[in-house]
Structure 1
Amino acid sequence: MKKLDIKDLGKFRLLGGLDVYKNKTAFTVAEISLEKDDYFSKIYLYDGRKVKPFTSGPKDSNPKFSPDGKLIAFTSKRDKESKEAELYLIPTTGGEARLLRKFKFGISDYEFSPDGKQLVVIAPVEIERRKKKDEDVHLIKEIPFWFNGIGWIYGKRSHIFLVNLESGRKRKLTKGKLNVQTLKWSSSGDKIYFIAEENKEKEPMISDLFVLDLKSRKIEKLTESKWRISDFVVLDETTFILRMSTLERGIPTNTHIYLFNAETKEIKKLTAELDRSAYNSLNCDVRGKSRNPLIYKDGWVYYIATDGPRANLFRVNLEGKIERVIGGDRSVETFGIGSYLVFIAQDATTPTELYVFRDGKERKVSDFNGWIKEYKLSKPEHFKVKASDGVEIDAWIMKPLDFKEGKKYPAILEIHGGPKTAYGYSFMHEFHVLTAKGFVVIFSNPRGSDGYGEEFADIREHYGERDYQDLMEVVDEALKRFDFIDEERIGVTGGSYGGFMTNWIVGHTKRFKAAVTQRSISNWVSFFGTTDIGYFFAPDQIGKDPWSNLDGYWEKSPLKYAPNVETPLLIIHSIEDYRCWLPEALQFYTALKYLGKEVELALFPGENHDLSRSGKPKHRVKRLELIAGWMERWLKG
């Protein structure tokens, strides 16, 4: 059988963007073209019998059915000369798609009206003049001024537009500094409910539920600016299902499902029995863009939750009874409910596919990634690590494909980002590439990870402490259990929080013989003032701000420990990474070079924080080549 190669990245098909009407399912399938260095996508339709292509592409995505099921709306970029986002309509029976409207700065979301005659669209707009047409100077008056993957966002907000399906005419319904995130129509069609941020500068973690009366054009805020609400379901004019975080533990607070009364302002946590985040936080580098649905049907609220190393589909009723609907060692990506339940899922050795759950039976109905069956893959082997404080840590090991008993192999410790994400039963192309090249791969969910409850996830003000110990104890346990690991040839790598931890590790131990840090943090002070989330993420995670806690910020900065570094380090960073901006890489590289350490720096132009997941295909290939090459140089050479 074949070994999975770096350039096999171009074979993956990424499924996502699913919507359901009765027995019909529309979804997006994206492909990665190494030849054209781009991504291309089409919409496919499953009619209850077979899957078939529905649109021609090349950039079609995010399909949604009209209320009567006769139309499908979708977003696209078919006009090669235009930078605007395009909204199309196409009959469900097929035919030519009709361009309904273009939006200059993109489309965040949209919904059909109950009568199917209008669409309500969320789109970014300029709320104040940013600069003159021929001017290249940025005059900035607010924070955040840029955002990862988008670029400059100052002076922009996402607002609601009403678009007529016949004429394509649009009417702006909201204004000012409201930043709208998601919305729903009332069943009568005379109101629009929406989630928005009122003040991203002063209250960046707060979002509220609002209602817009279409006749009077009046907007009323229904919540009290205490929570971060991400989605909702309208039960009636006063009763709502909210998916939200109360922020009691700051960012580590789990997102739960609540019942909310808009008159009394009372909330009831429906998912109190399951201390898990109501979304999928598993890491994967070959997944499609998907919605995170919240669906109310027959007295049950259906939602995805991360439960340890799994992302499963659950449902909860209004009394708080929770049931697991779609379980297993896998990652449910998205779902929809029509005549039956449809979902997209993957696992550690199977990329994304479409599945149907009907009459208690599950069936895979697509085979976009069937080519993977021709490849020999290393299946992750799970083991538990009892940490020194008694808490159990989930960990996995993947043997190299050429494994032979009695032989010693170099190993690589992989550390996930977040920190409130998780590794588990999802496909990681990177891991399979490394095992194909003869490495053992070790990965785990240390303290700070999602899926194990709020207390487990809460490492605020304690970065580099218990989380660092957990990782070292995972390596210790792996060496005890698996005698084929060469303890003299272990490397470490990670991105984002995993990059921070890689930087921290090389400044605190010499046990690793090679390291690759990616999209990392090296200095919490500079991170606070230069990144899109730094001004609220750093105070939440490190404590207070740099003026109140300079010693704490510096104490937790890997840059402080640069003189201790003895491990050869490769720094990989994207030039347009606004989540962990370029200075994080530059100052760590400069410090290590100045101190005479073994270090190299690889910078990727035009890329952002998501290089490993959605960067240009050729850059993604180069990144993997750099990681594998560095590890081969120092662990095999």
Structure 2
Amino acid sequence: MKNQSERPLTAEDLRHITIHSDPQFTSDGNAYAFVSTKATNENDYTSQLFIHSLKHNQPKQWTFNKAKNSHPRFSPDGKWLVFQSDRSGTPQLWLLNTEGGEARQLTSFKHGALSPVFSKDGRMIIFSAPLEKEDDVTEQHEQTEDERQKERDEQNKQPFVVKHLKYKSDASGFLDCKHTQIVQYDLESNTFNQLTFADTDHSFEDISPDGNFILFSANLNENSDYELTSDLHLLNLTTKEITTLTNGEGQYGNARYSPDGAKVACFGHEFAYQGATLNELYVFDTTTGNRSCLSTEWDFQLGDAMIGDTRMGHSENGPVWNKDSTYLYFLGSDNGATGLYQTDLNGKLNALYKDNNHVFGFSKHHDIFILGISTPTDPGNFYQLSMNGNPKQLTDANRELLESVHLSEPESLTFKAEDNWEIKGWLLRPYGFEENKKYPLILEVHGGPHAMYGQTFFHELQLLAAKGYAVLYTNPRGSHGYGQHFVDACREDYGGKDNSDLMRGVDYALETYDFIDQERLGVTGGSYGGFMTNWIVSHTDRFKAAVTQRCISNWLSFYGVSDIGYFFTKWELGKNLLEDPSALWDFSPLKYAENIETPLLIVHGEKDYRCPIEQSEQLFVTLKHMKKEVEFVRFPDANHELSRNGKPEMRIARLNHITRWFDEYL
């Protein structure tokens, strides 16, 4: 535990946290590039590219403008770095000579260009671009800010005509006629060639080692508007023929060619447990299409399922091949931590690195890895790991901040559920902790529900501890990290044993820690955690204050207003709206609103399309009409991701409202 003379963490410290992501080895393995993101004084974020030689202590900054620079990828010969930047106003591709000089803009696409990668021979760059059906990639023009504003003004004068079921997205807002297509850029001739044309979004996955095939994921079916499946496809660049590797019954992604070109590895599943289905690791033979599943005997989530509020930017999850096409490397989420794993093609699993922390990304060169690692007291740094070795720290981001503030080390706890299932969790002691003093406790409930609290830095949790609260956070049934049966166990039982798990956790904390004041208990959570907060305070009066964030209160309306409601309701509750509206009403906290006596703060973003703000409006009006103790804080221009990547001022204001409410009532 840190020295108590250090000051407590504040909400405003969010502005001073540097977030590293996306490590990428150079082609010779002597250095790596990465992205570093932090808040600006203009209420936004800037992301800069750094290069770090493994022979030197300090990374070298390569971009300096007030822009979001990201997705650095090296050419095979190491002479060039292509990256994505919005410095011109729209995300475009830029090319930088690694020996020095200014970056050169490659694309001027009207709606931007994204996620570039080099072909294996370095002659081509493959990227994604949002395009309308009639767009010509050879005649693209990047709009000025005045032109963009004029177009927005014109659009605002016209009605928005909706013809599709999938017409909005929390990430993208209302969806228009653009679709993500895959485009090829020839460096020598300076020409563009559109590779995909179907009326759907395409996700580039990889290019074959011989450069003859593009691997991409998409739903190419006529009924794609009604389906959530995503298949893997091979596009022959010579014949333009598309071959589908998968069977149309699942979701597949993170796909990679083996270096010998004979196989494709990917994550995927076929909805055996709907949205609670664990990823599998599949390998496809590119000649026969035969599929093998390497993860049949494993029982944990592949990839990174960790919940946090200080992770920005993409980072590799895997699977990644070794140079001999005999092993695969990937991240896995297990028991509140994520680690780096290795498997051979028979499914023999080996944990290369697994500790009580959060591996959020990696890059591999031969037998050397760059790992991005976060801990509960460190937002994240990069480490070098050799096979069978120990990680060596390479960066020291946030050193000045971390030396000046006190952060609480979590204490792990395990308790029994009502049916004797083991439930895991953690407790943070409050800042300035004194043995003979009583402290209020706040229960935090994560969203998802199929996600995982764990050993990562979480600013909100640390802030509550800094404000003098003991903080309890657990992984009740429905969480990742404890196997398929566990993550599936809350479906069709929302507010049942998941709620019981949470209450048992509070009981255990009260029995174990005599410094917790049982008369001063608070509860908060967002999304599913907001639903659970609403459910808890409508079914018990043991909590003296509650904050519900981006919540669900009424499943009847959620079905039609959420961007995922039309399938998520069925997935999680077992019923669609017209199948059994009374069952959905029984699952709705709004039904029990008259029972709420706990002072409730409702926090919501006005552009949240995942859990739309009408969910909070219904709850607020109902409680206020009954003259209950309730307050409603609305955040303009904020979506479901407010707490994780919303505007810095809004994120800080949100945290200040949460702590104000608990300070007032606890």
Q: Structures share a fold, TM > 0.5?
A: yes
CA deviation digits over 1:481-515, x for unaligned, max 9? Answer: 01111111100000111011101111111111110
For residue 254 of structure 1, the aligned residue among 278, 282, 285 is 278
- Aligned residue for 1:53? 61
Rounded to whole Å, the distance in 1 between the matches of 2:464 and 2:512 is: 21
1:49 aligned counterpart, secondary structure: coil
Displacement of 1:17: 2.0
Kindly indicate whether the alpha-carbon contact (under 8 Å) linking 1:607 and 1:615 is maintained by their aligned counterparts in 2: yes
Rounded to whole Å, the distance in 2 between the matches of 1:476 and 1:502 is: 17
- Aligned residue for 1:508? 539
For residue 365 of structure 2, the aligned residue among 329, 338, 342 is 338
- TM-score under structure 1 length normalisation: 0.96
Matches of residues 275-294 of structure 1 in structure 2 within 5 Å?
Answer: 275-291=299-315, 292-294=317-319
Rounded to whole Å, the distance in 1 between the matches of 2:418 and 2:618 is: 35
Whether 2:417 is the aligned partner of 1:410: answer no
Rounded to whole Å, the distance in 1 between the matches of 2:189 and 2:521 is: 63
Displacement of 1:193: 1.1
Kindly indicate whether the alpha-carbon contact (under 8 Å) linking 1:182 and 1:231 is maintained by their aligned counterparts in 2: no
Matches of residues 564-583 of structure 1 in structure 2 within 5 Å?
Answer: 564-583=595-614
Which ranges in structure 2 are unaligned for 5 or more consecutive residues? 1-5, 136-150
Matches of residues 515-530 of structure 1 in structure 2 within 5 Å?
Answer: 515-530=546-561
- Aligned residue for 1:66? 75
Between 1:348-357 and 1:174-183, the stretch displaced more is 174-183
Rounded to whole Å, the distance in 2 between the matches of 1:68 and 1:98 is: 18
Query: Amino acid of the residue matched to residue 322 of structure 1?
Result: L
- Aligned residue for 2:581? 550
Rounded to whole Å, the distance in 2 between the matches of 1:480 and 1:369 is: 37
Displacement of 1:263: 6.1
- Aligned residue for 1:37? 43
Displacement of 1:102: 2.8
Query: Amino acid of the residue matched to residue 231 of structure 2?
Result: D
For residue 4 of structure 1, the aligned residue among 9, 13, 21 is 9
Rounded to whole Å, the distance in 2 between the matches of 1:148 and 1:599 is: 27
Matches of residues 87-166 of structure 1 in structure 2 within 5 Å?
Answer: 87-127=93-133, 135-166=157-188
Displacement of 1:164: 2.0
1:600 aligned counterpart, secondary structure: strand
Structure 1 residues 132, 32: CA separation in 2 closer, same or farther (over 3 Å shift)? closer
Between 1:149-158 and 1:66-75, the stretch displaced more is 149-158
Rounded to whole Å, the distance in 1 between the matches of 2:122 and 2:469 is: 55
Structure 1 residues 197, 132: CA separation in 2 closer, same or farther (over 3 Å shift)? farther
2:302 aligned counterpart, secondary structure: coil
Query: Amino acid of the residue matched to residue 123 of structure 2?
Result: K
Displacement of 1:274: 2.4
Query: Amino acid of the residue matched to residue 65 of structure 1?
Result: F
CA deviation digits over 1:90-131, x for unaligned, max 9? Answer: 012222100000333344433211221111111222338999
Whether 2:393 is the aligned partner of 1:370: answer no
Percent of aligned positions with the same letter in both sequences? 38
Query: Amino acid of the residue matched to residue 175 of structure 1?
Result: F
1:472 aligned counterpart, secondary structure: helix
Displacement of 1:415: 0.5
Between 1:96-105 and 1:323-332, the stretch displaced more is 96-105
Displacement of 1:220: 2.2
Rounded to whole Å, the distance in 2 between the matches of 1:167 and 1:606 is: 43
Rounded to whole Å, the distance in 2 between the matches of 1:168 and 1:570 is: 56
2:464 aligned counterpart, secondary structure: helix
- Aligned residue for 1:169? 191
1:101 aligned counterpart, secondary structure: coil
Between 1:153-162 and 1:488-497, the stretch displaced more is 153-162
- Aligned residue for 1:270? 294
Query: Amino acid of the residue matched to residue 39 of structure 2?
Result: I
Displacement over 4 Å in runs of 4+: 128-135, 199-203, 262-266
Rounded to whole Å, the distance in 2 between the matches of 1:370 and 1:127 is: 49
Query: Amino acid of the residue matched to residue 329 of structure 1?
Result: N
2:46 aligned counterpart, secondary structure: strand
CA deviation digits over 1:270-290, x for unaligned, max 9? Answer: 123321111111111112312
Displacement of 1:167: 5.0
Kindly indicate whether the alpha-carbon contact (under 8 Å) linking 1:131 and 1:137 is maintained by their aligned counterparts in 2: no
Kindly indicate whether the alpha-carbon contact (under 8 Å) linking 1:19 and 1:64 is maintained by their aligned counterparts in 2: yes
Structure 1 residues 63, 248: CA separation in 2 closer, same or farther (over 3 Å shift)? same
Give the superposed CA RMSD. Answer: 1.9
Rounded to whole Å, the distance in 1 between the matches of 2:287 and 2:335 is: 37
- Aligned residue for 1:348? 376
Query: Amino acid of the residue matched to residue 443 of structure 1?
Result: Y
Whether 2:457 is the aligned partner of 1:456: answer no
Kindly indicate whether the alpha-carbon contact (under 8 Å) linking 1:223 and 1:262 is maintained by their aligned counterparts in 2: no
Structure 1 residues 417, 125: CA separation in 2 closer, same or farther (over 3 Å shift)? same
Between 1:330-339 and 1:130-139, the stretch displaced more is 130-139
Whether 2:637 is the aligned partner of 1:606: answer yes
Whether 2:343 is the aligned partner of 1:316: answer yes
Kindly indicate whether the alpha-carbon contact (under 8 Å) linking 1:43 and 1:57 is maintained by their aligned counterparts in 2: no
Displacement of 1:132: 11
For residue 28 of structure 1, the aligned residue among 22, 29, 35 is 35
Rounded to whole Å, the distance in 1 between the matches of 2:42 and 2:246 is: 48
Structure 1 residues 201, 591: CA separation in 2 closer, same or farther (over 3 Å shift)? farther
Between 1:170-179 and 1:248-257, the stretch displaced more is 170-179
Kindly indicate whether the alpha-carbon contact (under 8 Å) linking 1:143 and 1:154 is maintained by their aligned counterparts in 2: no
Which ranges in structure 1 are unaligned for 5 or more consecutive residues? none
Kindly indicate whether the alpha-carbon contact (under 8 Å) linking 1:462 and 1:542 is maintained by their aligned counterparts in 2: yes
Count of residue pairs the alignment pairs up: 631
Whether 2:469 is the aligned partner of 1:439: answer yes
Rounded to whole Å, the distance in 2 between the matches of 1:531 and 1:166 is: 47
Rounded to whole Å, the distance in 1 between the matches of 2:186 and 2:458 is: 43
Displacement of 1:201: 5.0
CA deviation digits over 1:208-229, x for unaligned, max 9? Answer: 0111111122222221101110
Rounded to whole Å, the distance in 1 between the matches of 2:220 and 2:526 is: 32
CA deviation digits over 1:525-583, x for unaligned, max 9? Answer: 21111121111111111113110121221111111111111111111000111111111
- TM-score under structure 2 length normalisation: 0.92
For residue 179 of structure 1, the aligned residue among 198, 201, 208 is 201
Structure 1 residues 435, 489: CA separation in 2 closer, same or farther (over 3 Å shift)? same
Displacement of 1:595: 1.9
Rounded to whole Å, the distance in 1 between the matches of 2:300 and 2:197 is: 36
For residue 207 of structure 1, the aligned residue among 230, 246, 271 is 230
Between 1:42-51 and 1:443-452, the stretch displaced more is 42-51
Kindly indicate whether the alpha-carbon contact (under 8 Å) linking 2:602 and 2:630 is maintained by their aligned counterparts in 1: yes
Kindly indicate whether the alpha-carbon contact (under 8 Å) linking 1:580 and 1:609 is maintained by their aligned counterparts in 2: yes
Rounded to whole Å, the distance in 2 between the matches of 1:389 and 1:138 is: 51
For residue 18 of structure 1, the aligned residue among 16, 23, 29 is 23
Query: Amino acid of the residue matched to residue 358 of structure 2?
Result: S
Rounded to whole Å, the distance in 1 between the matches of 2:459 and 2:153 is: 45
Rounded to whole Å, the distance in 1 between the matches of 2:569 and 2:132 is: 28
Kindly indicate whether the alpha-carbon contact (under 8 Å) linking 1:141 and 1:154 is maintained by their aligned counterparts in 2: no
2:552 aligned counterpart, secondary structure: coil
For residue 358 of structure 1, the aligned residue among 386, 397, 413 is 386
Kindly indicate whether the alpha-carbon contact (under 8 Å) linking 1:19 and 1:27 is maintained by their aligned counterparts in 2: yes
1:352 aligned counterpart, secondary structure: strand
